[in-house]
Amino acid sequence: MEEEITMLNWRQVCAMLGCSRSFFYTLVNSGSLPAVRFGDVKGRSCA
């Protein structure tokens, strides 16, 4: 069975976590929150 992956943008992740945009990027840059980049868009994958 294949697992479906949902991509979220920073706004969606911030709403889910209740955090600011700057804290979101702090988490991403520290490696605490895995992220992928598609062109100029950075998002979070949720499995």
pLDDT tens for 1-47 read 788 888 888 899 999 999 999 999 999 999 999 888 776 655 556 65
For 21-33, b/e burial (b = at least 16 CB within 10 A) is: eeebeebbeeeeb
How much is the pLDDT for 38?
A: 73
How much is the pLDDT for 18?
A: 97
d(CA 47, CA 37): 17
- Domains of the chain, residue spans: 6-46
Record the pTM: 0.68
User: DSSP of 6-43, one letter per residue?
Assistant: EEEEHHHHHHHHT--HHHHHHHHHHTSS--EEETTEEE
Provide CB contacts within 8 A for 40, sequence distance 6+.
none
